[in-house]
Structure 1
Amino acid sequence: MSLSAPQRRRRLVAALLLLSAAIPLTACGQQHVAADAPSTSPGTPSPSRPGPAGPGASPYVEPGAHDGAPHYDENNAHRQPREMSPASEKDARREAGRIEPVLKRLWKQGKWDPKSVRSAMLALGYEQQRTGAKGEQLGGKLDVRGMEPRFEGDHYVTHEGARIGLRVHRDACVTAFVQKTNYQVQVNGPYLESGCFEPPFAH
């Protein structure tokens, strides 16, 4: 039985809809902090990674992989912070406890520009990190920067605010940010390529 032109078009549209639903859409992962999220206290534990896959799992899926992709951990090694020793983590949490109330005060005052945040951190006794012409470390452990650009809608946006990286020990950092919507303080090990700051996702 032959179909009329409108019937053929309806079937074609239905087939295309089914096909598009079957193809998973992937996007570059981005970590966002909700606008109404409360600040994270320094004692908040990090979420644990998922356990290994069960017996029926595909041999190509890496256990604990973010999206089940093979070689996820290998490809994203630069995004994994190094482990902190218990003593270093304890020291980092102590410094986070000093920084958190200062960021809270700045946030309430509406002062989240890097210059104001840097001055407040230097007033706590931290020394600004210095590097030489070839990138060598010359001293200091504090790094205050503007916010990273984020992809929103169809373009990149750089929000007002400041990020803080404080190297407490070789294996321990305090990272924080303050912006119009919120502020956050946490402790983590340093990243392989970017020090205390988490490297941005590549697109």
Structure 2
Amino acid sequence: MPTSTSVQRTVLVGAILILTLGACGQQRASDLAAGAGAGAGAGAGSSASPSAPGASPYVEPGAGDGAPHYNENNAYRRTGEMSPAHERDAEREAVRIEPVLKRLWEQGKWDPATVRTALLELGYEEGDDALTVREMLPRFKDNEYHTPEGASVGLRVHPDACVTAFVQKSNYGVQTNGPYLETGCFEPPYGH
């Protein structure tokens, strides 16, 4: 028959084991205090706390929706950097394109062939490294894909500078941007 001392030891060891395993992976106030002086940015002045409820240790800084690998998975949707001089050149071309698209939109003419013809009259050359006019990208609506009426425009002004535009029934728009990694001047579709 076990003695009361051996039963007490067994209960004590069991309780310690349960407490130790239950605390596994948790950061305690003493751990935070010990690390506060470890380096710049550590401790209470930090904007993100890894011990905050619901915080994931896998979230990258500046990661949009907070999903792990967000920046890596969405790199294809980021534009490249433009040099200041090339950005000014792209803005100058955007100013030339905008009134043409506005006129076409007001006339109800937004098909790619008409838009292409109007922009070629500005003196642009057509091709992958110059002016490209194409249909709008298909969109998923009512459980099926459909391609809306309209035209997408991409103008490569320099290797690092683009004018991206569109004209469709509801509106038109012109912007400048650096090229996308995989799709040049055109914004890539979602669902990479």
TM-score by length of 2: 0.71
Match of 2:140 in 1: 151
5+ residue gaps, structure 2, are 1-45, 51-55
Separation in 1, partners of 2:108, 2:72? 41
Q: CA deviation at 1:155?
A: 1.2
The residue correspondences of 1:176-191 to structure 2 (distance < 5 A) are 176-191=165-180
Match of 2:117 in 1: 119
Please tell me the root mean square deviation across aligned C-alpha atoms, in Å: 1.5
Amino acid paired to 2:67: A
The residue correspondences of 1:6-45 to structure 2 (distance < 5 A) are none
Secondary structure of the residue that 1:185 maps to in structure 2? strand
Single out whichever of 63-72 and 114-123 deviates more from structure 2.
63-72
Match of 1:22 in 2: none
Match of 1:44 in 2: none
Separation in 1, partners of 2:141, 2:47? 37
Once the two structures are superposed, residues 115-138 of structure 1 have per-residue CA deviations (whole angstroms, 9 ceiling, x without a partner) of: 0000001000000005xxxxxxxx
Match of 1:167 in 2: 156
Once the two structures are superposed, residues 48-89 of structure 1 have per-residue CA deviations (whole angstroms, 9 ceiling, x without a partner) of: xxxxx9221543111221211111111111111101111111
Q: CA deviation at 1:177?
A: 0.2
Match of 1:94 in 2: 92
Separation in 1, partners of 2:188, 2:47? 31
Amino acid paired to 2:116: R
Q: CA deviation at 1:156?
A: 1.1
Match of 1:78 in 2: 76
Separation in 2, partners of 1:70, 1:63? 10
| Residue of structure 2 aligned with 1:129, choices 119, 127, 130 | 127
Separation in 1, partners of 2:153, 2:162? 10
Query: 4+ residue runs of structure 1 moved beyond 6 angstroms?
Result: none
Match of 1:197 in 2: 186
How many corresponding residue pairs? 142
Match of 1:55 in 2: 48
Q: CA deviation at 1:111?
A: 0.5
Q: In the superposition, relative to structure 1, how do residues 172 and 179 fare at CA in structure 2: closer, same or farther (>3 Å)?
A: same
